[in-house]
Amino acid sequence: MKQFFKFFFASMLGFIVGSVVLMFITIGIFAAIVSSVSTPEKKEASSNSVLTLSLNYDIKEQTVFNPMANFSVFGGVDLSPQLGLNDILKNIKKAKSDSHIRGIYIDAGTFGGGIATAKQIRDALIDFKKSKKFIVAFADVYSQKGYYLASVADKIFLNPLGAVEWKGLGAQIMFFKGLMEKIGVEAQVFYDGRFKTATEPFRYDKMSGNNRLMTRQLLNSIQHTYVNEISVSRNIDTTMLYRIADSMLIRNAWTAKSYGFVDEIGYSDAAKNYINSKLNNGKDKKINFISMADYKRTPDGDKYSLDQDKIAVVYAQGDIVDGNGDKDNIGGDKLAHLFEKLRRDDKIKAIVFRVNSPGGSAVASDVIWREVSLTNEVKPVVVSMGDYAASGGYFISCNASKIVAQPNTLTGSIGVFGIIPCTQKLFNEKLGITFDTVGTGHFSDFGNLTRPVSKEEGIIIQNEIDSMYATFKKRVYTGRKLDPVVVDSIAQGRVWTGTQAMANGLVDTLGGIDDAIRIAADLIHSKNYKTTEFPEQDEKWFDILSALDDKKDEEIQMQLKNNLGEFYSVFEQVKTISELKGVQMRLPYLMEIE
């Protein structure tokens, strides 16, 4: 017994000492993080520097500050903070006039952002070239979006064993009808709009004629933008570009060069030697590369004065959800409260509302629409559309003073739907579970998922869907000052590209967020203005536990992507479906266009 207590107390002492040491180590790490955050290190670009542009990650609209991004829950350290579109554009604009920056090096390969995001960055690079500085691109393999971006470069390099994807655009839609029949779940669907195809995966096992027509026309419109812009940059005839894609004539590096898609075949050292020649350096000399993240911390050189008019830039990205939402979606209540705050702020003279959303909750969309409308009565609201501004995303935009979209933005989808799953067969026939209910009235168990919707309940639900659809169309023809008959013809749940939407009167002009800011300044007759971004990102103080939790979620998501590969999109769609609640204003599907 004496020996037992000896080992017991020794173990206890070891545990206590170890815990104290671990506690001090943890406090030290957190103190170091807080210290580095409280005094962010300023960078200075060396003379003869080259800005590197690597965009093979999911590009958000706004850089979200999270110092824990450098720490990996599963091991390893991420040394490449990922900037949002806002800071990428600012960096390119700043580099244009920065005498320290001689050019840009694009690590082009794959592009993680959406199609409208790619165009926004591409346009910024074209503007950068007006400074007569060089742009060089290199990749082992160019995806179609990656090449679309890289095609602005003065010199394009390709790995000898690499290739350029140029095969036309395609969109694949997943259908769940067969799966649901197998597990005994029936999707009871209610919708308005003959092109509101969001419910098709639950009703059919393939595309309807309307869906196929709409999708093909969308792809043709987007490819038209790709082809025309690459034709100008690479001096290749558009007819030839279509023929090359249709026959997939580019099959290796040598055919890519023979058709004029790339300038040189070689490894990354060849691209760097070319850059050295542009810098008047010797061969193999080390180049002063500066990353986008480091360049963000260099002085921007802009002069601000107290008498400048302030334009707020409000970012809204993700699904529209009820309540406050989180960092990955748009909370109806939270965004509405922000607009109310900005409306009452006399220092804010105009608002640019950046929308990148496929839609979501009809109720949350209406809450946001109301505050945007009230704000627009007091000061101009200009909408800038990103990759998506469809269904609920268009609903919250339609009453703005002006709407700006990219040619390849996906917008419209003016329609409404609701899905109520019936699990009766799953429980009764598959699991042997039955249910019985007692209620005080005829509709007491309305919304019960273990039985089919009755005829009377179905009429009630469809009437509500019809009413919401009528409200949606009214919001559009009132906000856009269009004939109701015209709106009915271009609504029907149909998705349009930005180019098509402008022809239909759903948007005012084509362009990016910088164009929207200039329009907002014109509306307040200001040539002396500055912008302030919302939600505000505070780089000095943050919630460490929240940051750790966010990082953990990102790590888990990355692990799922790596392990599931091409089936990750299946997981995402099933997750989205499981979260659908109430009446929805949502894009039929998120198209991964390559």
Question: pLDDT digits over 564-587, tens only?
Answer: 555 555 555 555 555 555 667 766
Whether 59 and 136 share a structural domain: yes
d(CA 262, CA 149): 13
CB neighbourhood size of 480 (10 A): 19
Q: How many domains does the chain have?
A: 2
The CATH code of the domain that includes 278 is: 3.90.226.10
- The confidence score (pLDDT) of residue 74 equals 47
Band of pLDDT at residue 388, cut at 50, 70 and 90: very high
DSSP state letters, 12-65: HHHHHHHHHHHHHHHHHHHHHHHHHHHSPPP--PPTTEEEEEE--S---SSPPP
CA angle 104–110–115, rounded 5-degree value: 90
Candidate list 60, 133, 196, 349, residue with the active-site label = 196
Q: Quote the pLDDT of residue 338.
A: 98
Sequence-separated (6 or more) residues with CB below 8 Å from residue 179? none
**Secondary structure (DSSP) of 296-342:** HTS-------TTSEEEEEEEEES-EESTT--TTSEEHHHHHHHHHHH
Identify the pLDDT of residue 315: 98
Same domain, 264 and 354: no
Instruction: Specify the 3-state DSSP secondary structure of 376.
Output: helix
Count CA atoms within 13 Å of residue 564 on its CB side: 13
| Residue 593 covered by a domain | no
At which residue do the structure tokens 């649901």 appear?
Answer: 180
Per-residue pLDDT at 5: 47
H-helix or E-strand containing 220?
A: helix 209-234
Domain boundary among 264, 296, 328: 296
Q: What is the DSSP letter of 428?
A: I
Q: Match 């098709």 to its residue by tokens.
A: 200
166 three-class SS: coil
Cβ contacts of 247-254, under 8 Å, gap ≥ 24: 248/166, 248/167, 250/163, 250/164, 250/165, 250/166, 251/163, 252/161, 252/163, 253/158, 253/159, 253/160, 253/161, 253/162, 253/163
pLDDT band at 335 (very low <50, low <70, confident <90, very high): very high
At residue 36, the pLDDT reads: 46
Rounded (5°) CA angle 484-371-491 = 25
In a domain, 83, yes or no: yes
What are the φ/ψ torsions at residue 418 (nearest 5 degrees)? Answer: -145, 145
Domain boundary among 270, 296, 322: 296
Q: Are strands 186-192 and 416-422 parallel, antiparallel or unpaired?
A: antiparallel
Please give the helix or strand (H or E) that residue 585 lies within, else none.
strand 584-586
Catalytic site residue 391?
yes
Q: Cα torsion at 249, 254, 257, 261 (round to 10°)? A: 50
Hunting for tokens 């959406």 — which residue is that? 114
Alpha-carbon gap, residue 497 to 486, rounded angstroms: 18
Q: Is residue 592 assigned to a domain?
A: no
CA nearest neighbour of 145 among 125, 172, 173, 164: 164
Task: Say if residue 358 is exposed, middle or buried (CB neighbours under 10 Å; 0-12, 13-18, 19+).
Answer: buried
The mean pLDDT of 462-483, rounded to a whole number, is: 96
368 and 280 belong to one structural domain: no
- Which among 223, 305, 235, 279 has a CA at the least distance from the CA of 105? 279
In the predicted model, is pLDDT for residue 38 greater than 50?
no
265 and 336 share one domain: no
pLDDT of residue 37: 47
Quickly state the pLDDT bin for 196 (edges 50, 70, 90): confident
Residues 524 and 466 in one domain: yes
Give how far the C-alpha of residue 132 lies from the chain's centroid of Cα atoms, to the nearest Å.
31
Residue 222 lies in a domain: no
In a domain, 174, yes or no: no
pLDDT score at 108: 82
Q: What are phi and psi of 441, to 5 degrees?
A: -150, 175
Q: Please enumerate in sequence order all residues whose Cβ is within 8 A of that of 407, keeping only pairs 6 or more positions apart, or say none.
A: 119, 221, 225, 497, 498, 499, 510
Question: Over the stretch 351-367, which tens digit does the pLDDT of each residue have?
Answer: 999 999 999 999 999 99
- What is the residue whose two structure tokens read 């998705």? 495
pLDDT for position 573:
56
Let me know whether 494 and 432 are in one domain. yes
In the beta sheet, which residues pair with residue 355? 316, 385
Task: For the beta carbon of residue 288, count every other beta carbon within 10 angstroms.
Answer: 16
Q: Which two tokens stand for residue 558?
A: 């990355």
Whether residue 418 sits in one domain with residue 505: yes
**Segment of 58-72, 410-424, 535-549 carrying the highest mean pLDDT:** 410-424
The verdict on residue 422 lying in a domain is yes
428 plus 532 within the same structural domain: yes
Q: What gap in Å lies between CA 157 and CA 137, rounded to an integer?
A: 6
Q: Are residues 270 and 339 in the same domain?
A: no
- Residue 571 is encoded by which pair of tokens? 């997981």
Q: Which of 41-50, 169-178, 530-539 has the highest mean pLDDT?
A: 169-178
φ, ψ for residue 142, nearest 5 deg: -100, 120
Does the residue 571 lie in any domain?
Answer: yes
pLDDT of the residue at 42: 64
Dihedral (Cα; 51, 55, 61, 66), 10-degree rounding: -80
Of the residues 357, 365, 391, 413, only one is catalytic, namely 391
Residue 82, pLDDT score: 84
Indicate if the pLDDT at residue 346 is higher than 80.
yes
CA distances from 366 to 250, 332, 353, 392, 556 (A): 48, 8, 16, 8, 33
- pLDDT(30) > 70: no
Which of 234, 269, 296 terminates a domain? The answer is 296
Q: Does 527 fall in a domain?
A: yes
**Phi, psi at residue 317, to the nearest 5°?**
-130, 135
Residues 558, 473 share a domain: yes
Average pLDDT, the chain: 86
Best mean pLDDT range from 197-201, 285-289, 390-394: 390-394
* pLDDT band at residue 327 using 50, 70 and 90 as cut-offs: confident
Partner residues linked to 187 by β-bridges? 421
Residue with tokens 């101009």: 380
Per-residue model confidence as pLDDT tens digits over 109-133:
889 999 999 999 999 999 999 999 9
Q: Print the domain residue range for 409.
A: 309-586
Residue spans of beta strands (DSSP E) within 402-492: 402-405, 410-412, 416-422
Q: 577 and 496: one domain?
A: yes
Q: Are residues 545 and 476 both part of a single domain?
A: yes
